């Protein structure tokens, strides 16, 4: 067993609560906003999803690491994005014939500081009651006052713009050049599997950095626009709201996922808010109000669009609702070929119930 895994570690929450456990990943000190994901599989996809930038992930499933990693195939971006990881049982050994390494090595090489041996049920119940907060994990500092000092340096997720730091810094193309449709992607922290869902549907892509102007994007002459998922607070991204406003004004089809949905909502004059606790998991029930059918969805968000705003909007119409807590899950823009969802139709990880939304977008491109 790696020696790291036998060293002690500590988790300090912003409200002063302390959990003791064992180190994993890299020996060090790191923190972020503490969030829980209830998915039972897909840890590698989660850790490499750019939407998790700045967040420490509690995996509520009881065993993590047991199937190792497939570095290239199962990563949602080119690096590990999470700010830390908390779990109950961390598997020192993995078993899967296609794995190319262990999760311990994967996290250690990525510089991720983690902690295992935590009663994740108690921890999640605590956060569910108190609401989302910052935390610090350390396997090198054990003095409470020193830990508190480090924790206080972590910024609040509310008011934080992160897309421009995690997105591509150079525009690039993906797919077959002679494909039927050309989709311009506004990269706010896009997941790889979203892009493959487009290229699998006869779309040639050009992926643009978050702060690219509409003029530059439209100069490529796309058939339609996609506004991606991504980390941070949607309320502090006026640049993206401006770009998507112009996308909408062009009358070409527009599709948004998660952060992209929150931006499209703001274009329609709706507001977003920070949730008491976000939605992160693979089994969240959502109802499509147009078809009357429900779908089981993959989710990862800490902000949401205000339901009261969309109920009185003359620009946006509610298309999907969350069956657990009646939060806004989807909208379409009246009189435009534009729609968006809060959940993740690409899944990765998660069920594929909502993949029809990619087909719906391709139908609009036609």
Query: How far apart, in whole angstroms, are the C-alpha atoms of residue 179 and residue 199?
Result: 8
- Examine the residue annotation and report whether 295 is marked as an active-site residue of this protein: no
Q: Nearest approach, Cβ of 230 to ligand GLN (angstroms)? A: 5
Tokens for 173, please give them: 């193309």
Residue 303, annotated as binding a ligand: yes
Q: Does residue 259 interact with ligand GLN by CB under 6 A?
A: yes
Query: How far apart, in whole angstroms, are the C-alpha atoms of residue 312 and residue 272?
Result: 15
Tokens for 342, please give them: 């809060």
Nearest in space to 60 (alpha carbons), one of 115, 12, 124 = 124
Q: What residue has token string 């500092």?
A: 141
Q: Does residue 345 interact with ligand GLN by CB under 6 A?
A: no
State whether residue 12 is helix, strand or coil. strand
Q: Does residue 231 interact with ligand GLN by CB under 6 A?
A: yes
Nearest in space to 157 (alpha carbons), one of 69, 70, 83, 99 = 83
Q: Does residue 301 interact with ligand GLN by CB under 6 A?
A: yes
Q: Which of residues 5-64 bind ligand GLN (CB under 6 A)?
A: 51
Q: Does residue 175 interact with ligand GLN by CB under 6 A?
A: no
Tokens for 253, please give them: 């089809």
Compare residues 64 and 166 and give the one whose CB is closer to ligand GLN.
166
Residue 88, annotated as binding a ligand: no
Question: What letter would DSSP give residue 155?
Answer: P
Q: Which of 35, 167, 258, 268 is catalytic?
A: 258
CA-to-CA separations, 275 to 28, 131, 198, 201, 241, in angstroms, rounded: 30, 8, 30, 34, 21
Q: Does residue 229 interact with ligand GLN by CB under 6 A?
A: yes
Q: Which of residues 193-212 bind ligand GLN (CB under 6 A)?
A: none
Residue 218, annotated as binding a ligand: no
Which range, of 21-29, 201-209, 263-271, 295-303, touches ligand GLN by CB under 6 A? Answer: 295-303
Q: Nearest approach, Cβ of 347 to ligand GLN (angstroms)? A: 12
- Examine the residue annotation and report whether 271 is marked as an active-site residue of this protein: no
User: Using CB under 6 A as the criterion, which residues of the chain lie in contact with ligand GLN when the complex forms?
Assistant: 51, 229-232, 234, 258-259, 278, 300-303
């Amino acid at each position: 067993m790696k020696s790291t895994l036998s060293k002690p570690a500590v988790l300090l929450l912003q409200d002063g609560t302390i959990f003791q456990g064992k180190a994993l990943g890299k020996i060090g000190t790191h923190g972020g906003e503490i969030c829980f994901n209830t998915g039972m599989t897909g840890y590698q996809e989660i850790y490499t999803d750019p939407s998790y930038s700045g967040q420490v992930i509690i995996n509520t499933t009881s065993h993590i690491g047991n199937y190792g990693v497939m570095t290239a195939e199962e990563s949602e971006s080119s690096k590990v994005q999470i700010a830390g990881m908390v779990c109950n049982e961390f598997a020192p050994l993995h078993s899967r014939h296609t794995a190319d390494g262990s999760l311990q090595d994967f996290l250690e090489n990525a510089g991720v500081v983690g902690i295992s041996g935590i009663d994740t049920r108690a921890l999640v119940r605590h956060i569910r009651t108190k609401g989302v907060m910052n935390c610090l994990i350390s396997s090198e500092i054990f003095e409470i006052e020193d830990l508190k000092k480090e924790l206080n340096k972590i910024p609040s997720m509310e008011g934080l713009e992160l897309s421009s730091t995690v997105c591509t810094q150079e525009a690039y193309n993906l797919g077959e050049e002679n494909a039927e449709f050309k989709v311009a992607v506004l990269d706010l922290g896009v997941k790889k599997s979203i892009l493959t869902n487009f290229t699998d549907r006869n779309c040639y892509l050009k992926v643009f950095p978050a702060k690219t102007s509409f003029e530059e994007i439209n100069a490529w002459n796309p058939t339609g626009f996609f506004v991606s998922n991504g980390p941070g607070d949607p309320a502090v991204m006026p640049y993206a709201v401006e770009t998507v406003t112009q996308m909408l004004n062009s009358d070409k089809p527009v599709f948004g996922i998660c952060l992209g949905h929150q931006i499209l909502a703001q274009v329609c004059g709706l507001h977003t808010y920070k949730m008491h606790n976000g939605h992160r998991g693979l089994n969240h029930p959502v109802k499509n109000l147009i078809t009357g059918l429900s779908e089981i969805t993959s989710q990862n968000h800490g902000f949401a669009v205000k339901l009261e705003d969309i109920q009185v909007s003359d620009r946006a119409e509610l298309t999907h609702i969350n069956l657990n807590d009646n939060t806004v899950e989807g909208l379409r823009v009246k009189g435009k070929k534009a729609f968006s969802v809060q959940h993740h139709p690409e899944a990765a990880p998660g069920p594929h119930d909502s993949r029809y939304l990619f087909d719906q977008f391709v139908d609009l491109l036609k």
